[in-house]
């Protein structure tokens, strides 16, 4: 009456493996989405910084012109 004590894997092993694969794919998609969101956030920050830099440059140029015009006006008196 010798019963075999060898391990017999459950019948649902293939389904379990497929489920694990689907979970892995879902995690990869989630990571890719997070990475894309981070890239978009960084692009937005870069665009904002570029816009601010251009605005500072424009203001500096305007100030330069005003001061230069004032100096020319004073020297012509």
Query: pLDDT digits over 20-68, tens only?
Result: 899 999 999 999 999 999 999 999 999 999 999 999 999 999 999 888 8
Residue with tokens 């978009």: 40
pTM given for the model: 0.56
- Residues 51-72 as b or e (16 or more Cβ within 10 Å = b): eeeeeeeeeeeeeeeeeeeeee
Domain boundaries, the chain: 25-77
Scan for tokens 């910084």, then name that residue: 49
CA–CA gap between residue 28 and residue 22 (Å, rounded): 10
């Amino acid at each position: 009456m010798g019963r075999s004590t060898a391990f017999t894997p459950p019948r649902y092993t293939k389904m379990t493996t497929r489920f694990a694969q689907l979970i892995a794919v879902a995690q990869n998609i989630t990571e890719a989405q997070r990475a894309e969101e981070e890239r978009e956030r960084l692009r937005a920050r870069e665009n904002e910084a570029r816009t601010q830099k251009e605005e500072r440059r424009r203001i500096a140029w305007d100030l330069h012109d005003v001061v230069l015009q004032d100096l020319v006006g004073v020297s012509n008196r």
